[in-house]
């Protein structure tokens, strides 16, 4: 097509059609992308959730079974003593496979930490209401991340400790909330971890990490 031979009206009509085709193509690409995104995320979630459920099921199982076997070890006299008390840490070896159950005291919080957490969430909501970035404010995102709880619903001592470092960034109300957290840090809890080992062809114990990030 020789555009130079077209009339002014024909050129305008051609331009309109080209723009319409471009708009239609843009919509088609958008719809195709969104369909692919939906299918991709559906596939990821469909494969992820059974794995998560299996891991949670295995965790619940190993906790119950290890407690039961610990009772067997006690009756058989195989539990070690520490300062006159039974230790909650033990290991079991069978052939080339070993399980270690390690328990240790960790810093935790009492009920005042829940009150402090509620006050801090309200404080942060008020903070982002006056922030130009809103929920995208990095200070807000950091604080909310540090308030996340573990699978038992407990606050993490190390994460809360990092909140103390932000006191200079905020006002007296924030400092008062941090003080409440500090006052609640009077309880020690027992944390139990489970470690699995397999002996390799050279007879060296290699830890098996049932973790996606360790694969």
Which pair of structure tokens corresponds to residue 107? 């810093």
Indicate the angle between helix axes 157-164 and 138-146, nearest 10 degrees. 150
Answer whether residue 196 is part of any domain. Answer: no
Answer whether residue 181 is part of any domain. Answer: yes
Boundary (domain end) residue, out of 39, 61, 79: 79
Residue 173's domain spans which residues? 111-185
Answer whether residue 180 is part of any domain. Answer: yes
pTM value surpassing 0.75: no
Answer whether residue 148 is part of any domain. Answer: yes
Answer whether residue 32 is part of any domain. Answer: yes
- Report the distance separating Cα 177 and Cα 143, nearest Å: 13
Q: Are residues 69 and 128 in the same domain?
A: no
* Confidence at residue 134, expressed as pLDDT on a 0 to 100 scale: 82
Residue with tokens 């070890």: 73
Boundary (domain end) residue, out of 64, 79, 94: 79
Boundary (domain end) residue, out of 58, 79, 100: 79
* Confidence at residue 86, expressed as pLDDT on a 0 to 100 scale: 56
- Report the distance separating Cα 108 and Cα 186, nearest Å: 7
* Confidence at residue 104, expressed as pLDDT on a 0 to 100 scale: 80
Answer whether residue 102 is part of any domain. Answer: no
Q: Are residues 121 and 181 in the same domain?
A: yes
Answer whether residue 9 is part of any domain. Answer: yes
Q: Are residues 139 and 179 in the same domain?
A: yes
Answer whether residue 57 is part of any domain. Answer: yes
Tens of each residue's pLDDT in the chain, 215 residues: 667 777 788 778 878 888 888 888 888 899 999 999 999 999 999 999 999 899 989 999 999 999 999 888 888 877 765 544 556 788 899 999 999 998 888 788 888 888 989 999 998 888 788 777 787 878 788 888 888 887 777 888 888 888 888 888 888 998 999 999 898 887 777 888 899 999 999 899 999 988 777 66
Q: How many structural domains compose the chain?
A: 2
């Amino acid at each position: 097509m020789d555009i130079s031979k077209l009339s002014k009206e024909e050129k305008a009509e051609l331009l309109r059609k080209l723009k319409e085709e471009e708009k239609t193509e843009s919509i088609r690409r958008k719809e195709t992308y969104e369909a692919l995104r939906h299918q991709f995320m559906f596939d990821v979630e469909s494969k992820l959730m059974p794995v998560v459920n299996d891991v949670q099921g295995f965790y619940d199982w190993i906790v119950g079974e290890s407690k039961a076997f610990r009772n067997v070890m006690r009756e058989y006299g195989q539990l070690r003593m520490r300062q006159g008390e039974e230790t909650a840490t033990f290991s079991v070896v069978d052939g080339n496979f070993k399980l270690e159950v390690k328990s240790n005291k960790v810093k935790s919080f009492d009920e005042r930490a829940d009150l402090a957490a509620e006050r801090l969430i309200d404080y942060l909501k008020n903070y982002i209401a006056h922030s130009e970035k809103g929920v995208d404010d990095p200070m807000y995102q950091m604080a909310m991340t540090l308030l996340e709880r573990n699978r038992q619903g407990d606050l993490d001592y190390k994460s809360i400790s990092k909140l103390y470092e932000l006191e200079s960034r905020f006002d007296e109300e924030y400092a008062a909330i941090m003080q409440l957290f500090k006052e609640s840090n009077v309880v020690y809890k027992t944390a139990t971890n489970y470690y699995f080992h397999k002996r390799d062809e050279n007879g060296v114990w290699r830890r098996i990490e049932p973790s996606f990030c360790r694969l």
